[in-house]
Amino acid sequence: MNAIKVARRFIETDPANESAKILAQLVLALESERSFELVTLYNLDYKSFELAMNILKEWRLDRYYASKSKLFDLSLQVTELEKS
């Protein structure tokens, strides 16, 4: 299972948990491209810390693929305009 799904389930299960709150803050910072104090991650237990690292990895990959799909969509639009 991917880290983003695991994090969602973890946060849903116990949103009052301190680790869940930190992971939620991390996700919000990533999505909104805001700052996040990395030192906050050290307040996580090891399992949650590993989950945070995996979220970062997946987020980076998803962002790459999102950029790739946007480029594909734009290229498709340009090609369709040329046909018109």
- Can you give the residue range of the structural domain that contains 79? 3-83
When divided into structural domains, the chain yields a total of 1
| Residue that wins the pLDDT comparison between 76 and 14 | 14
For the stretch 16-74, pLDDT in tens is: 999 999 999 999 999 888 999 999 999 999 999 999 999 999 998 877 677 667 666 77
pTM of the prediction?
A: 0.76
- Per-residue 3-state assignment (H helix, E strand, C coil) for the chain: CCHHHHHHHHHHHCCCCHHHHHHHHHHHHHHHCCCCCHHHHHHCCHHHHHHHHHHHHHHHHHHHHHHHHHHHHHHHHHHHHHHC
